[in-house]
Structure formats: structure tokens, C-alpha cells
Amino acid sequence: MKNTVATFQKAKQDGKRISMLTAYDYSTAKLEDEAGIHGILVGDSLGNVVLGYEDTISVTMEDMIHHGAAVARGAKSALVVIDMPFMSYQSGVYDALCNAGRLMKEGRANAVKLEGGQEVVPQIKAIVQAGIPVMGHLGLTPQSVNAFGGYKVQGKDTETAQKLLEDAKAVAEAGAFAVVLECVPAALAEKITKAVPIPTIGIGAGAGCDGQILVYQDMLGMFSDYTPKFVKRFADIGGAMKEAFQAYIAEVASGTFPAEEHGYGISSDVIEKLY
């Protein structure tokens, strides 16, 4: 059965934890979906882990639509959320509405995600009014890395912690169905989780959130440029891939691959008649 925003809401009411992972392609989305994940985020982390940029700033609407549509084709049960990339909503309500619409129509998203608190309330309200579910994103919001001056834990003093709590309430009141809390002290994330009626999805925000999300390459050891403290490695698929690549290279070099069973036969008569 397809997970919907109602499934997320019910999970919070029932005290059941929500699991989410990122995906950027059909095969990975299908594997996560078959494993039983509740939601898949086509994150603009695409810029880092798939496209090799140093941040998410250069990610475009076309990138998100292209990868989002592939994920949507692979996700039969999981709720598919597609990130609104940098400058697709900050520039105003009209842009936000048009771009959210494109992610739904062309990317086949079930919901969109955007970063920010009180400053994006008009955009959230307009998108929700158009019938498009919105997931908020607070704390370390990577699209603001230049304003933050780096990737740092957010909300560590009273003033910034209070602002995060108010932002979470504002995002919920604007109509968001859930909110990601990234790199927020665990006790603050727990307080926010208790204060808002919508599910909080944590990444580096402790166990007190209603759900968790990780970038799948991080949890599988497939991305080695940097590893945030909050990542737990659930398998070393990156290591297994490297070993398999090395075995392939060695077999090609030695001539042991391909073997006879990997090729196609032809009658010797045909070969003999060639001149």
C-alpha cells in the first residue's frame, strides 16, 4: 500500500517511528522500496553524492526532475519527496508554486521539500493551498551554507534554539505535513518534536524525533569525501564495490573474463564459409 502524508501523520499519533532514506535513481529506489522504507527523499544532496559538487547550490530544477522521475518509477509504496533546489522558491511565491508544480507533474513527486522557517511561510502556504504536500527543513539547511559560514550544528544557544522552535511551529502552522531537523542538539529536537503536531524527521538530531533520514551513500560507505558525525555505516557496500571492480579489472587483464558461458555460440559452418 502506498505511504501518504496521512501515513506519516498517523505514525506520529501512534508513536511509530518513520524511516526515510535518500535515493536518486530507479534501481536504488526499488531496493529501498522493497525493503519497506516509508519515504524516499530525492535530496538535493544529489549535488554532492551523485554529481560531485562541493555543495548543493548548483543543483537545478532539471536535475531534480530527471532524478526524481527515475525514483518515482522505482517506488511503489514509499512516499516520494523531491527537494526544491536553491533559488527555485527563495525568489518568491510565484516561482515556488510553479517549481513545486513541475516537481509534481514532471518529477511525479508525492510531496516537495524546501528549507527555511518563518521566511518561507508564504511559499509553504501557497504550495499547500495548491494541493501539494510540503515537507519543511530546519537546522543546518545546506542551501544556506554560505550564510552559515560552513556546515555547523544549529540551535546551540538560547536565542538560536528559541528561533528554531518558533520556526518549526511556523512551518507546521503554514501547513507542512512534516519537517526535517538537521544537525540540531538532541534535547532541542525532542522539545520541537513534542511542540509540533507534525512528524519531525531527524538527521543528526537524536532519537527523540518521530523519524530518521540518512543519505544512502553515507550509510552504505559509498561516499568518502567526508562523513558527518551523525552517520552510522550499516554496511560497507563501497568497499565491496571496489573489491568487485578490482576483481573485474584483474580478470579482464588475465583473460579469465569473459568465459565461454558469457558469450554467444555460432555454428562452425558459418565461420568456415567466411572469406
Q: Is residue 200 at the binding interface for ligand KIV, with CB under 6 A as the rule? A: no
Least separation in angstroms between residue 203's CB and ligand KIV is 5
Q: Is residue 45 at the binding interface for ligand KIV, with CB under 6 A as the rule? A: yes
Question: Considering beta carbons, is residue 226 or 275 the nearer one to ligand KIV?
Answer: 226
Catalytic residue among 182, 190, 251, 261: 182
Q: Is residue 261 flagged as an active site residue?
A: no
Which residues in the 10-39 window bind ligand KIV by CB under 6 A?
A: 22
Q: Which stretch binds ligand KIV (CB under 6 A): 10-18, 25-33, 40-48, 252-260?
A: 40-48
Question: Considering beta carbons, is residue 43 or 185 the nearer one to ligand KIV?
Answer: 43
* Total of chain residues touching ligand KIV, rule CB under 6 A: 12
Q: Is residue 215 at the binding interface for ligand KIV, with CB under 6 A as the rule? A: yes
Which residues in the 110-139 window bind ligand KIV by CB under 6 A?
A: 137
Question: Using CB atoms, what's the residue nearest to ligand KIV?
Answer: 43
Q: Is 275 exposed, middle or buried (0-12, 13-18, 19+ CB in 10 A)?
A: exposed
- Cα distances (angstroms) measured from residue 189 to each of 18, 28, 120, 172: 15, 29, 20, 15
Question: Is the Cβ–Cβ distance between 65 and 106 less than 8 Å?
Answer: yes
Among the listed residues 32, 33, 44, 218, the single contact to ligand KIV using CB under 6 A: 44
Among the listed residues 23, 180, 181, 184, the single contact to ligand KIV using CB under 6 A: 180
Query: Contact positions toward ligand KIV, by CB under 6 A?
Result: 22, 41, 43-45, 83, 137, 180, 182, 203, 213, 215
